Every structure is written in C-alpha cells, then in structure tokens.
Amino acid sequence: VITKVKARQILDSRGIPTVEVDLHTNKGVFRASVPSGDSSGMYEAVELRDGDKGVYLGNGVAKAVKNINDKISEALVGMDPTLQSQIDQAMIDLDKTEKKGELGANAILAVSIAACKAGAAEKEACFSQVPLYRHIADLYGKVSPMLPVPAFTVISGGKHAGNNLAIQEIMILPTGANRFVEALQMGTETYHHLKAVITEKYGTHDCNVGESGGFAPNEAIRRAGYTDKIQIALDVAATNFCIGTRYDLDFKSPQKSGQNFLSAEDMVELYRELCNDFPIVSIEDPFDKEDWEHIKRFSSTGICQVVGDDLLMSNVKRIERAILEYACNALLLKINQVGTVTEVIEVVKQAKEAHWGVVTSHRCGETIDSFIADLSVGLSVGQIKAGAPCRGERLEKYIQVSFLFLMLMELVHFCGLLQILTC
C-alpha cells in the first residue's frame, strides 16, 4: 500500500521549476518528475505555477508541491498502487475542475507516474518484479509490447533555436533498422556526420543552418551509408508563423523582406515538393492549429503521415473531431497535456481505434525521468520523439528503450518502416 507521498520542486532541462515526487510503499520509494513545454494551449491540462514574479520569474511550483504533500497525500495513503485508475480518479475527484487547474496537472501527473512505477513493483510475478512497461501494457488491456522507432531531432529551428529556420524540428527516423539498438546507432552516427556536413558547408556557426542548411540531413544520411534506411520527419509547428491566412517563413529574420509569405495552398505545394525531393515520411503541424480546412486537404493527399500536436493538444475532444473530419492520421502524445496515466491510456486507445499512428513525445523542458520510454513500449505506440541523440535528459529515454530491447530481445517486436507507412 501507499504509505507516504512527498514532493519537491526541482529544475527542468531549461532551468525552470517543475515537480518531483517520491511515493513510498511497502516495496520501496518510487520517484517521478514531470516535463513542461513551450507550446501550451487552452485545451490542455493546466500546469500550476505560483505566479510570484519575484521567485523564479513567476514559474515556481510551490503550490503544486504543497497540494501533493497535503491534499493528494492524504487522499492516497492506504491505497493499493496497482489500482491505477482508482488512484487517478481519486485525484481527479479531489481537483474537481475540468482541466486539473485546482491541484495542478503537474502535481497530479507526477503522482500518477510514481504510482504506476510503484504498481509495477507491487505485482509479483515468478518471484521477481513486473517491469514497468509490462505493467503499463496490462493497464491498457490486450496489447503486445513493441519497441518504437525513434525520431531523432537533428536540426532545430522555429521557437526552439536562434537561427532563421521556420520549421521547428527536422528529425531522422532509422526505419530501415532491424532492431532498436541498431536504430540508435544509425541515428547517432548520422547525427555526427551531420555536424561535419554543416561545418564544412556553412561554417561552424549552427545559426547559419536556418538560412540554407535545413536539408543537410540528406547529405549526412548518405555519408553515414544509410540511404534508404533512414527517413526524415518534420515538425513544422506552423501555428508559430501563421499570420492571418498566410505563413511567414521569415518570421524569425530580423530584416523581414516580406517576400517569404506563403498562402496555405503554397504550403501544400511546398510540402509536396519537399516530400518529392527528400525521403520525408511524416509532417507534424503543417498548418496553423485552427486551420482545419488545409490540414484536412493536405491529409487527404496521402503523401505522408500527418501528425497533430498543437492541432490536438492531446485533448480527447480535439482528437475526436480530427478523427471524424480526417484531419490527420497520427497523434503526438504529450503526457503532461493529459494529466494522468489512466487518461493517457484512454487517449492512445482512441487514436489506435481510429487506426492512427501514435508518437510519444518529450517536451522541451525535460527531466531525467524515462517514463515515456516504458510507456511507448508498453502501449505499443510505434514511434517515440525524444530529441537528439545527445544530452542526458533526452538520452535517458532512448537508453531505457535500448535496455528494454536487451532485456527482452525475443519478446518485443520493433516497429519498422511498415507500421509507420501504414499508420
């Protein structure tokens, strides 16, 4: 049973406060922390911040921490950690608001994840612990765990970088790998080749990449010897540069020429050309999050996987609408936009029932918690996006999937090219 729940404020990878919790049971102490992102919308669960400008510029999470240590702890002590849905429901009931704004989704999710880890440890099978991914698969119901294809971010632009590239992320997907560890090796080697390509072509300043080097990944894939085995994905995050009905590809340029405004129709044409010229298999948020008309039109071309991130905000109602209107065919799953493990599972079910692809995602503000790795394997989502193959808080996720691969080699399948293209 749960004996104690104790939270504290820590810092995420950007140096911004976030919540970490230790959940104690008779089996031990289970730690979890929550990520946080740049993009936030009105449909997602509320991240509770203190708002005191004098402390961490208003970003402190002391209130969320206090909510865990007082109210949530009191409600959960004595509960069985294997009963995930009851634990999550108890917190939802305690919060009483639609978007978890009272206790804070950051407080609720941290505890929900920690309880999930404790639940796995509580279940004894063959005298040993049940791995976390297996416990998550059991919570989902009938699902065979599968190792996801990693999407490594190799070039950052948009709001994520100080260059002029409008597109937020260019990712490489080693879809031709046979095993996860091979995918990790292929992605990492290509990442290093890319650095060399960029230095040779554009000098040592990464910030030049935005102007002209956005498609150096193709050259790096060739140099690494992985042509046809690594494909490309884009997160355009087009909401960030949609002005009225047009898209300003120069939105970060200090001297705006005004030349680079494209209509939505031009954007469709641009994507068509890019998919023709490069091995692009997936595009995330190709249009503004409210531009349903054009995202539907683009999805109907069937050129590539179309992923909804800002479009959906991992929100059940937005996903429902997108399914009904054939607006996209894959969900970008950000667990902190949902708020509990149980609801995350529901959202994944909803997407899978519509035969969508699912990409589990990190946030730009990450912690060293690797929960989304086990979640991806346990829920058999097929794809994981956790940043570049460098920096600890990103690697934690990829390394954990590798660990699951090594541990369970013969039991878990790898999601290769086929699943992505049929998503």
- The site for ligand PGA (CB under 6 A) is made up of 37-39, 168, 235, 237, 309, 361, 363-364
What three-state secondary structure class fits 170? strand
Q: Using CA atoms of 348, 310, 112, 414 in order, give the dihedral in degrees to the nearest 10.
A: 40
Q: Which residue is nearest to ligand PGA (CB)?
A: 37
**Among 154, 233, 159, 137, CA closest to 188:** 154
Binding mask 303-322 for Zn ion (x = CB under 5 A): ------x-------------
Q: Are 366 and 393 in contact (CB under 8 A)?
A: yes
**Among 354, 360, 278, CA closest to 319:** 354
Minimum CB distance to Zn ion smaller for 118 or for 154 = 154
Task: Please state, in angstroms and rounded to a whole number, the distance separating the CA atoms of residues 251 and 258.
Answer: 9
Minimum CB distance to ligand PGA smaller for 365 or for 378 = 365
Site stretch for Zn ion (CB under 5 A), options 29-37, 108-116, 195-203, 278-286: 278-286
Q: Is 309 annotated as a binding residue?
A: yes
Partners of 306 in the β-ladder: 283
Q: Residue 249 CB, nearest distance to ligand PGA (Å)?
A: 18
Q: Residue 37 CB, nearest distance to ligand PGA (Å)?
A: 3
| DSSP H helical ranges for 203-263 | 209-212, 216-223
Partners of 2 in the β-ladder: 25
Q: Residue 210 CB, nearest distance to Zn ion (Å)?
A: 17
Q: Helices then strands (H, E): number in the chain?
A: 15, 18
Minimum CB distance to Zn ion smaller for 230 or for 307 = 307
Q: Are 67 and 52 in contact (CB under 8 A)?
A: no
Q: Is 284 annotated as a binding residue?
A: yes
Q: Residue 188 CB, nearest distance to Zn ion (Å)?
A: 22
Residue 288 in contact with Zn ion, rule: CB under 5 A = no
Site stretch for Zn ion (CB under 5 A), options 116-124, 214-222, 230-238, 409-417: 230-238
CA distance between the termini of the chain: 40
Minimum CB distance to Zn ion smaller for 309 or for 393 = 309
Minimum CB distance to ligand PGA smaller for 224 or for 364 = 364
Task: Please state, in angstroms and rounded to a whole number, the distance separating the CA atoms of residues 295 and 357.
Answer: 16
Options 20, 235, 343, 369; binder of Zn ion; rule CB under 5 A: 235
Binding residues for Mg(2+): 284, 309
Residues engaged in binding Zn ion (CB under 5 A): 235, 284, 309
